């Protein structure tokens, strides 16, 4: 997954390197389709995303405060 930013919703700047990439047996075929929510109480952006593997399809959860450092939560 890559971070893409836009001021107008039409033209996007996409970062060169991925923010997150597959890193375990649940993500071996890839990760995609994040849904992002900001939780004001703790200042994190949480995102739930799909992960595909030989085990099947599942959802995963991660968070960030700065869009540079990410913590996978499961």
Total Cβ atoms within 10 A of residue 43: 10
| Model confidence pTM above 0.85 | no
Q: Model confidence over 3-17: pLDDT tens digits?
A: 999 999 999 999 999
- Three state DSSP letters for 19-30: CCCCCCCCCCCE
Residues 6 or more apart whose CB falls under 8 angstroms from that of 55 comprise: 25, 26
Q: Model confidence over 15-63: pLDDT tens digits?
A: 999 999 999 999 999 999 999 999 999 999 999 999 999 999 999 999 9
Total Cβ atoms within 10 A of residue 19: 17
> Domain containing 33: what range?
4-72
Q: Which residue has the tokens 């996978």?
A: 72
Q: Which residue has the tokens 């991660």?
A: 62
For the chain, how many structural domains are there in total?
A: 1
């Amino acid at each position: 997954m890559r971070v893409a930013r836009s001021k107008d919703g039409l033209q996007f700047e996409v970062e060169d390197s991925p923010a997150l990439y597959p890193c375990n047996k649940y993500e071996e075929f890839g990760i995609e389709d994040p849904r992002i929510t900001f939780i004001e109480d703790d200042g994190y952006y949480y995102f739930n995303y799909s992960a595909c593997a030989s085990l099947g399809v599942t959802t995963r959860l991660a968070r960030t405060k700065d869009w540079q450092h990410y913590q996978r939560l499961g």
